[in-house]
């Protein structure tokens, strides 16, 4: 019984796929039902939109691929910069020289002698590049120390 059913299922499926027909019997009735179902579901897709959507989707797809490539390039560049900086940072890992402290009773310390060696300079520990404005910072620090120095107890 089960085998007979199984054969009927396969036969119906084959007839559906091949567009075949059969005369009389249950299969003929089922194939007629298939025809009705197909007919009721056969609607054309929205015609005017399809080409436009296809073009838009293709463009979006290409854009996404480009963005992915760009992101990958940025990651690679960032990795190269980090690796390069680590190498340079190790070479210039000496702490930078700050300004000398004012001696007690003196008008104030000397202005700072400038920071590290520009881009290659750094805090010394990790080789992080020093800020390009470190010279300016040291000069200000020197001025501040000068002002502060006049307030020190030694001068009074």
Partner 1 sequence: MGTSDKQLSTALPLGGRNAAEASSVERSDKALSAEELEETVRRAGRGDEERVSWLFERYHPQVYRYALARLGNAHDAEEVAAEAFTTVLRKVASFRWRGAGFEAWLFKIAANAVVDRHRRRARDPVELREDSGFENRAGGQESDQALLDAERGSELRALLDRLPADQREVLLLRFAGELSADEVGQVMGRKPNAVRQLQFRALEGLRRRMGEEQSGG
How far apart are alpha carbons 102 and 50 in whole angstroms? 80
How far apart are alpha carbons 124 and 131 in whole angstroms? 13
Nearest one of 90, 81, 79, 78 to 123, comparing CA atoms: 90
SS3 category, 122: strand
**Min separation Cβ 85 and partner 1, Å:** 33
SS3 category, 129: strand
**Min separation Cβ 43 and partner 1, Å:** 6
Instruction: Please say which residue, 46 or 153, places its beta carbon nearer to partner 1.
Output: 46
Strand spans (E) along the chain: none
Instruction: Please say which residue, 57 or 80, places its beta carbon nearer to partner 1.
Output: 57
Instruction: Please say which residue, 36 or 125, places its beta carbon nearer to partner 1.
Output: 36
Positions touching partner 1 (CB under 8 A) are 5-6, 8-10, 12-13, 16-17, 26, 29-30, 32-34, 36-51, 53-55, 57-62, 64-65
- Torsion angles phi and psi, residue 122, rounded to 5: -175, -175
**Min separation Cβ 21 and partner 1, Å:** 15
Instruction: Please say which residue, 33 or 106, places its beta carbon nearer to partner 1.
Output: 33
**Min separation Cβ 50 and partner 1, Å:** 6
């Amino acid at each position: 019984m089960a085998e007979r059913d199984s054969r009927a299922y396969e036969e119906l499926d084959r007839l559906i796929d091949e567009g075949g027909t059969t005369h009389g019997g249950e299969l003929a009735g089922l194939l007629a039902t298939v025809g009705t179902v197909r007919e009721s579901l056969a609607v054309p897709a929205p015609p005017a939109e399809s080409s436009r959507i296809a073009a838009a989707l293709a463009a979006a797809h290409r854009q996404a691929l480009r963005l992915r490539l760009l992101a990958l390039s940025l990651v690679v560049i960032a990795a190269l910069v980090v690796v390069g900086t680590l190498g340079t940072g190790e070479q210039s890992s000496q702490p930078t020289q700050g300004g000398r402290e004012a001696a007690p009773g003196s008008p104030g310390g000397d202005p700072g002698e400038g920071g590290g060696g520009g881009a290659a300079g750094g805090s010394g520990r990790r080789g992080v590049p020093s800020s390009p404005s470190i010279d300016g910072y040291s000069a200000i620090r020197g001025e501040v120390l000068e002002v502060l120095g006049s307030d020190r107890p030694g001068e009074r």
